[in-house]
Amino acid sequence: MEHATVATPFGRRPMSLAMMASQKAASAMPEGACVHKWKTFHLIREARERLGATDRGLSVLNALLSFHPETELAADGQLIVWPSNTQLAARANGMSPATLRRHLAVLVDCGLVIRRDSPNGKRFARKGRGGDVEQAYGFDLSPIVARAAEFEELAEEVAAEKRAYRLQRERLTLLRRDIVKLIEAGLNEGVPGDWSRMSEMYAAIVGRLPRSPSLSLLDDLCDALELLLNEVHEALENQLNSENMNANESHFERHIQNSNPQSQFESEYGARKNQEDSGNADETDNLHSLPKRELPLNLVLDACANWRDLAKGGEIRHWREFLGVCETARPMLGVSPSAWREACEVMGDKHAAITLAAIYQRADQINNAGGYLRSLTERARDDRFSVWPMIMALLRARLDAGRDRSRETTENGPQAEGLEVSAALKARMKT
């Protein structure tokens, strides 16, 4: 059955361009188009927010579809239903007349139905001699057939957004749990790290989370939490790496200064190098007697006192701050980025930093710090270098210097400041 291109509403209800566009789209639906009305209604329900429909409006649409006798809506069939407001309200779960009229207007504005008003505003159908409907006035359901593909596409987009939202909520929950538990692990295990700052960052990020966040806000919060998680994980992983290096280290060995023949390092260990290379076990040092654990931070700082001068505020409280000084000391010593990167890869970040601190402590005695570091890196690659002998040599030098200054003071004069070490450590340094 054909209708006029434009159907204006009865009474004081105004006409709009949106209503004209909806009628034009309905009249342009392809011939033979046919949709399952309840499946299409389900798609409309999923995409209701995109369409601008309300839940009460969908209740009215569900009631209108129930007045259509067929399960399928076909383009070449009768698509107009003409229930009275009383019948429609009854099928809409007893909706009040005023609420019914308001939500019928919403369905029209959304382009889900079209008003086909009679001259007097009544809804009815005129049948011919064979009982077929020749003319009907009421609500036209043809937009549901014409826009079925659009409804399906919108429903898929909404479903994809819901999946993305659910995944981001799960990601947020996992990130929050991981960060909290890893920070607690770092504090309980006494791992060096700025845990208070990390906790404050976590609280600041989570504090931005409202009761019903949008997908874009969830993305931003998850990205921020992931960066924080990487920082927390890195602090714990550095501790694990240092412990693994200590557990796997089979022996420690005295180092040799190859880049500067006049270096004090070489003068102290050059003779030992010849003994080690000769393979004479009686003449070599007992390298296995060195401690099989990581160097304590305080011991390294005692040996490399000048390293503190490069730290912010002149204070180093944990290994993270110790490693941070390397970015200042490396260019000062003229060590190239490639040499430093290779040292970190071979020795590990912590041992490379200790080596650089020892070189900085004796910078006035080393002509080519970069070449010296590369030489030590090659020895470490062959498992012929350890940072323990370097630190012990620096400590022994400080002890010797302290004894010399003490002998120069008078009996009642001020005593020179020396380095206090334990008897066990003194015995280690003498081996």
Render pLDDT for 54-106 as a digit per residue (tens, 0 to 9): 999 999 999 999 999 999 998 888 889 999 999 999 999 889 999 999 999 99
Whether the predicted pLDDT of 156 surpasses 70: yes
Which percentage of the chain shows pLDDT scores above 70? 76
pLDDT in tens, 6-48: 676 665 667 666 666 777 777 777 777 899 999 999 999 999 9
Whether the per-residue pLDDT at 256 is higher than 50: the answer is no
- Domain 17-146 is found in CATH 3.40.30: no
- Residue 254 has phi, psi (to 5 degrees) of -70, 145
Report whether pLDDT(268) > 60. no
Domain residue spans in the chain?
17-146, 164-248, 264-430
Alpha carbons 255 and 266: distance in angstroms, whole number: 8
The sign one gets for the Cα dihedral 251, 254, 258, 259 is positive
pLDDT at 388: 85
pLDDT confidence of residue 284? 30
Instruction: Using DSSP, state whether 409 is helix, strand or coil.
Output: coil
| CA–CA gap between residue 358 and residue 350 (Å, rounded) | 12
User: b vs e for 145-162, b when ≥16 Cβ sit within 10 Å of the residue's Cβ?
Assistant: bbbbebbbebbeebeeee
- Ranges of beta strands (E only) in 191-295 are none
Pairing outcome for strands 34-36 and 72-74:
antiparallel
Predicted confidence at residue 226, as pLDDT, reads: 92
Q: Which of 397, 378, 387, 382 is nearest to 263 (CA)?
A: 397
pLDDT tens figures, 304-318: 988 988 888 888 888
Question: Are 325 and 316 within 8 A, CB to CB?
Answer: yes
Q: What is the pTM of this model?
A: 0.48
Q: Which residues contact 61 (CB under 8 A, 6 or more apart)?
A: 41, 44, 53, 107, 112, 113
When pLDDT is cut at 50, 70 and 90, the band that residue 240 belongs to is: confident
Q: Which of 149-158, 219-228, 314-323 has the lowest mean pLDDT?
A: 314-323
For residue 135, is pLDDT > 80?
yes
Sign of CA dihedral 358, 361, 362, 368: positive
Write the CA distances from 173 to 33, 160, 183, 210, integer angstroms: 46, 20, 16, 14
| Residue 265 CB partners (closer than 8 Å, separation 6+) | 255, 256, 257, 362, 365, 366, 390, 393
CA–CA separation, 347 and 367 (whole Å)? 22
358: which 2 tokens?
């020892």
Residue 257, classed as helix, strand or coil, is coil
pLDDT-above-90 percentage for the chain? 36
Query: What count of Cα atoms within 13 Å lies in the side-chain half-sphere of residue 378?
Result: 9
pLDDT reading at 385 higher than 70: yes
Q: What is the pLDDT of residue 257?
A: 40
